[in-house]
Amino acid sequence: MIEAVSCGGVVIFRGKILLLYKNYRNRYEGWVLPKGTVEAGEEYPDTALREVKEESGAKASIIKYVGKSEYTFNVPEDTVEKEVHWYLMKAESYYSKPQREEYFVDSGFYKYHEAYHLLKFANEKQILEKAYEEYLNLSKNKLWTSRK
């Protein structure tokens, strides 16, 4: 069993959510939230911000931690047990540019119901639900716009 830890973000700008479309040799096709592996000596929030920037080009700031998802998948030599820590983030603009080296071929900001239906993985849909609820609460209480 291989254990891996990643961090990612639910990035929101003006109520819309950032998604990336991954297509690796016509495998792993689908829309996902930006996330990636924690590097040695890196704090989880730093990983989340770095991965969002690398994979999407988006500049964002962390608003709050929204939880973790766990799943397993098989690689030829073993089973990987993955833990992903998620952060609610605020983007500076609608700008995004998918990272081709990581096989992202498209990116963009989508309304909640569109993003929810586009997301490929159930665990990412659950995190999106939780993060968007937090976003709505902060917005309702006028706390979203005043935070940097």
Q: What is the pLDDT of residue 148?
A: 43
pTM of the predicted structure, to 2 decimals:
0.92
Distance, first Cα to last Cα, the chain: 40
Tokens of 39: 């590097």
Give average pLDDT by consecutive 10-residue segment, the chain, 148 residues: 94 98 81 95 97 97 96 90 97 96 94 97 96 97 71
Q: Residue 10: name the closest of 65, 47, 71, 78 by CA.
A: 65
Contacts of 47 (CB under 8 A, 6+ apart): 6, 7, 36, 37, 38, 39
User: In whole angstroms, how large is the CA radius of gyration of the chain?
Assistant: 15
Q: What is the pLDDT of residue 28?
A: 65
Q: What is the pLDDT of residue 147?
A: 44
Q: What is the pLDDT of residue 73?
A: 87
